[in-house]
Amino acid sequence: MLQGTALGLVAAALLYFPSEGVSEAADSEYAYRPVFFPDNDWHTLNSFVDRLIPADAEGPGALEAHVPEFIDRQMNTPYGHGSEWYLRPPMMKTSAALGYQFLFTPRDIYQQGLPALHSAIMQRYGKPFHQLDAGERDRIIGEMEKGSITLSPIPSKLLFGQILKNCKEGYFADPIHGGNYEMGAWKMIGFPGARADFTDWVDRYGARYPLPPVSVGGHGVQGGV
């Protein structure tokens, strides 16, 4: 679970994907109905994040953690609309040190990128992304990470990075935002969450914190306060 990639992720990092086996949850999306994503994009997103963080014996996968719900809900926030981003030309793409250099909001990236990806997949395989086997999905995702799939107007590497970023956020964020269902990711890594008092533990270096996590809403692992 949570194996590393070149991007360097949280808690031993989130990729690279095992090439065999697909999470059963990928074919049985839970009852949440998206507000932002249309059906085709929703199926693609679910199948994509299922490969980024597949479920295993160590902890829940992205689908079990309700990561797609988190992403869908984020798209209707100021973040999704890019309300606090500087989105004026010119954009200087000469150095990574300059940061984000596109005019696309997160909503734009998904709304334009996922249909473009769907078209590219249909042209190559004759079926949509969510119907590909695990190895085929992994191959596509790996090519997107390298930017070797041509999509327009959203570069495939940009779409990959956006999904990966939001997937990590949804997996480890407080459940109040829709992801990290039942604090499964926090339980897996031993993160205590939003407990108010750690003074008894600040000098116990390397010791495992024994209490279960608590969310911002005050809910513990059993749903109590």
In 3D space, the residue among 11, 38, 17 whose CA is nearest the CA of residue 137 turns out to be 17
Find the Cα–Cα–Cα–Cα dihedral 168, 130, 27, 188, rounded to 10°. -20
Of 118 and 84, more confident: 118
**Contacts (Cβ under 8 Å, ≥6 apart) of 100:** 85
Contact 141, 48 (CB under 8 A): yes
pLDDT category at 215 given cuts 50, 70, 90 is very high
Of 209 and 149, more confident: 149
pLDDT at 115 over 70: yes
Residue 30's pLDDT is what?
Answer: 67
Of 94 and 124, more confident: 124
pLDDT, tens digit (0-9, with 9 covering 90-100), for 54-103? 999 999 999 999 999 999 999 999 999 999 998 888 888 778 888 888 99
Residue 220's pLDDT is what?
Answer: 66
Percent of the chain at pLDDT > 90 equals: 65
In 3D space, the residue among 134, 137, 97 whose CA is nearest the CA of residue 117 turns out to be 137
Residue 92 token pair = 């200087």
Give the mean pLDDT of 128-141. Answer: 98
Residue 196's pLDDT is what?
Answer: 82
Residue 175 token pair = 């459940």
Residue 2's pLDDT is what?
Answer: 43
Give the mean pLDDT of 117-130. Answer: 98
Residue 96's pLDDT is what?
Answer: 80
pLDDT category at 31 given cuts 50, 70, 90 is confident
Q: Which of 36-45, 166-175, 178-187, 215-224 has the lowest mean pLDDT?
A: 215-224
| In the chain, domain spans | 24-83+102-182
Helix count (H) and strand count (E) of the chain? Answer: 7, 0
DSSP class of 56: B
Tokens 């779409």 -> residue: 159
CA angle 56, 72, 131 (to 5 degrees): 55
pTM (two decimals): 0.83
pLDDT at 172 over 70: yes
Tokens 């499964």 -> residue: 184
Mean pLDDT of the chain: 86
pLDDT, tens digit (0-9, with 9 covering 90-100), for 181-214? 999 999 999 899 988 887 888 899 988 888 899 9
**Contacts (Cβ under 8 Å, ≥6 apart) of 148:** 156
In 3D space, the residue among 133, 129, 109 whose CA is nearest the CA of residue 121 turns out to be 129
Please tell me the distance from the alpha carbon of residue 13 to that of residue 24, in angstroms, as a whole number.
22
Residue 146's pLDDT is what?
Answer: 97
